[in-house]
Amino acid sequence: MENQAIIESFSDFKDEKNIDRVTLMAIIEEAFRNQLTKKYGTDENFDIIVNPDKGDLEIWRNRMIVADGEVEDENMEIELTDALKIEPDFEVGEEVSEEVKLLDLGRRFVLAFRQNLVQKIQEHDNGIIYKKYQDLEGEILTGEIHHVRPRAVIIYDDDQNELVLPKDQQIPGDFYRKGDTLRAVVHSVDLRGNKPVITLSRTSPKFLAKLFEQEIPEVFDGLIVVKNVVREPGEKAKVAVESYDDRIDPVGACVGMKGSRIHSIVRELGNENIDVINYTNNTQLYIQRALSPAKITSINLDEANGRAEVFLKPDQVSLAIGKRGLNIKLAGQLTGYEIDVYRDVDEEEDVELTEFSDEIEGWIIKELKSIGCDTAKSVLDLSIEELASRTDLEVETIEEVRSILRSEFEE
């Protein structure tokens, strides 16, 4: 009963960690064997009988009987005189089994055993958490914000497991407050030592894809499939969708009447601008849709090198490139092509900016080309205010450049 009483004193672990009795007894046996090995150098001569139903375990030590005075290893051998106290008809050379009580092993042994048991139970608990979240990788979780730190937000799930949302996985402009509920996707699950570290993300494309699945019934039911997602978190995203039912318009179903369906997703992402695009295997059409809202005149594809030359009317170039070049950048990521934008104009009526390299500094030409202005007329078509807002050029510099370009057409 002594062993059972001590084992029952560890039952708080079972209650705290929600470990079933069979698993707890297996962990107790392993912890006990570890401690025996530390004390005696081996546990091979010990038999441990576990009874999960009763919550008891019996410990038996097996030793070889030797003549009095010839004991070399007290753990493995026992003198005949001591063996006869256990059973009066024992003889030298026989093996004797003797039940061991935990208390007989000493208070230090029991304390060390308990410490080892705590460690083993923690490892078991960590293993369950690791496996659970490994299976949830790429899925959305909802938790409560517990701490807001400069480099990370700490979230607790329903089981009080700690989840981490690092700074680089947070949407710029998001505001976090202790006690608030937060949604994020499980980004990665790693082990640091024996402790699982669950990292969440709100910037991952998977987060946006999963929000579509949660908020749009046709996506959840599999009638519409999200083929690809690219994002500039907090600013702009492009989502390619495809319907397996010809009767369903995938873009219309995802956006909803006047944007009613996608509104909750946009709000969740801090008013991120989301373009929903109808996916197609036709590469030229796919690139054309990806560059929306710009209207394309023609496309030249170099499939071997993954490049696309896109020609547009001058008034469509800025739409294709977008604010800070985001539209063309995301379109390239979505389609997998490096997209080069060209103006569809009569070359005789326009002049390449590089032709003015003797009058305009190279870095200024490069700055103008970065916003799609690679010809004289493309610069002159934009106002001074628009050029100033879209580039890092001073107003005086822009006025000087425009004066140089105008003189080309006045001659």
Shared-domain flag, residues 225 and 190? no
- How many Cβ atoms sit within 10 Å of the Cβ of residue 136? 15
Provide the CATH number for the domain around residue 162.
2.40.50.140
At residue 170, the 3 state secondary structure works out as coil
293 upstream amide cis, omega within 30 of 0: yes
Residue 338: inside a domain: no
User: Which one of 70, 96, 131 terminates a domain?
Assistant: 131
Residue 377: inside a domain: yes
Shared-domain flag, residues 110 and 142? no
Shared-domain flag, residues 111 and 165? no
What would the pLDDT profile of 171-222 be if each residue is shown by its tens digit?
A: 998 899 999 999 999 999 988 877 889 999 999 999 999 999 999 999 999 9
Shared-domain flag, residues 11 and 125? yes
Residue 323: inside a domain: no
Across 233-374, where does the E strand assignment appear? 236-243, 273-278, 296-302, 307-312, 338-343
Residue 262: inside a domain: yes
User: Which one of 183, 201, 219 terminates a domain?
Assistant: 201
Shared-domain flag, residues 196 and 180? yes
Can you tell me which residue has the tokens 């700074």? 167
Shared-domain flag, residues 96 and 164? no
At residue 82, the 3 state secondary structure works out as helix
Residue 298: inside a domain: no
Res 1: pLDDT? 42
Res 372: pLDDT? 79
How many distinct structural domains can be found in the chain? 4
Shared-domain flag, residues 6 and 126? yes
Shared-domain flag, residues 225 and 167? no
Residue 316: inside a domain: no
Can you tell me which residue has the tokens 């517990």? 146
Shared-domain flag, residues 41 and 124? yes
* Whole-angstrom Cα Rg for the chain: 36
Provide the CATH number for the domain around residue 116.
3.30.1480
Alpha helices in 102-241 (DSSP H): 107-135, 205-215, 217-220
Q: Which domain holds residue 363?
A: 347-410
User: Which one of 131, 146, 168 terminates a domain?
Assistant: 131
Instruction: Pick out the chain residues at pLDDT < 70.
Output: 1-20, 52-56, 345-349, 410-411
CA dist list (Å): 353 to 314, 319, 399: 15, 20, 15
Residue 319: inside a domain: no
Shared-domain flag, residues 127 and 169? no
Provide the CATH number for the domain around residue 210.
3.30.300.20
Shared-domain flag, residues 211 and 260? yes
Shared-domain flag, residues 251 and 357? no
Which residue from 92, 149, 116 is spatially nearest to 35, judged by alpha carbons?
116
Residue 230: inside a domain: yes
